[in-house]
Chain A
Amino acid sequence: MRPRQVLSRGPLVAALVVAALTVAGCSSTPELQGVVRADPLEVGDVTLPDVTAEGRRGGGLVEDGRLVMRAAADDRLLLVYFGFLNCPDVCPTTLADLRSALARLDAAQRERVDLAFVTVDPDRDGPEELAAYLPHFAPRHHALRAEGVELDAALDAFLASASVEVADDGSVDVAHSALLYAVDADGRVVVEWPFGTSADALADDLTVLLARGAAA
């Protein structure tokens, strides 16, 4: 009898495993709509003074009165935004979109997201002003206020920029980059949302990131 040529089962099983893993890898990684860089920014060493009003403080990591730029746990996210309270358009638009995005999440998801607002205009944005402004967008949050090199170092870590110029007539011109950042528990910026990202896109990305964190 002529022997029948057969493949051993080992390679066949290995091929099926490779195929399954590849297909699973393709289908189980939803694309984020924000900017995701191959080499994420590392901001976990940055800390800033937390001046949040009593009873309003979010669930972020606060050590010695300073918020650490890391999510407080693997299944949480820290969102960071650099802005100022007299901003007429970009800041309130971004924060309103974030508020809408958070409203699209369920309560358990929402509870795992902390917002840190870093004022780039600390001379005018004091703790009282921040306390009056931020609850309109996030009932619980972290109001961060630093000046000079300390603020500059935080901006640099996020590749962000800001400048405040006071004219002779006393008018104040503030310029700042307008991204919203999501930071994980390792202090990595896992996504950066440019100004103009819709509330729906934010909500979709937050849902994906929270699911990843919970699975970690």
Chain B
Amino acid sequence: MSRGWRLVIAATVVLVAAAIAVPFLTSGETYEVVFAAGTDDAADQGAVFASLPHRRAGDVVWLELEPGDALLVRNEDDVVHQVAGVAARPGESVLHVFRERGVFSDECSLDLTVFVEVGRRD
């Protein structure tokens, strides 16, 4: 392989990597919600919210994000689960970046009402 083509390949790798990386570098934190296998059957165990900035009052959960933060819903269960309108099929992971300030909500699949509040943190 000529030196020229090696340069082309190297440049391609760098440019493609940059194209993939830039959106992630310029966004904020990514928070992951995992619905483990069996979550629906053992709903009392609930989803994993421990790693998210959140408040809970009764059956209402507030996730507090900043514009550019992302919510990754990973569903390892055998039924559809959703958090604040981000639904994932069994075996599916869905990443959503909240780009605008506001409050986004829907009933969670575990009978919780989840509000994602974007842009409130001090």
Chain A residues packing against B (C-beta within 8 Å): 7-8, 10-12, 14-15, 18-19, 22, 25-26, 31, 33, 35-39, 159, 175, 177-179, 192-198, 200-201
Contacts and interface: CB of A to CB of B under 8 A. Distances in A.
Contact of B4 (A10, A26, A37): A10
Interface residues of B, number: 34
B15 A194 contact: no
Given A31-B97, A35-B85, A11 B104 contact: no
Nearest to B104: A196
A196 B94 contact: no
B36 interface: no
Contact of A25 (B19, B80, B107): B19
B86 A22 contact: no
B60 interface: no
B89 A159 contact: yes
Interface of B: 2-5, 7-8, 11-12, 15-16, 18-19, 22-23, 80, 82, 84-87, 89, 92, 94, 96-97, 99-100, 102-107, 116
Q: Is the interface of B mostly helix, strand, loop or mixed?
A: mixed
Contacts of B82: 159, 177
A19 B15 contact: yes
B86 A35 contact: yes
A102 to B, nearest CB: 18
B8 A194 contact: no
A7 B106 contact: no
Nearest to A36: B96
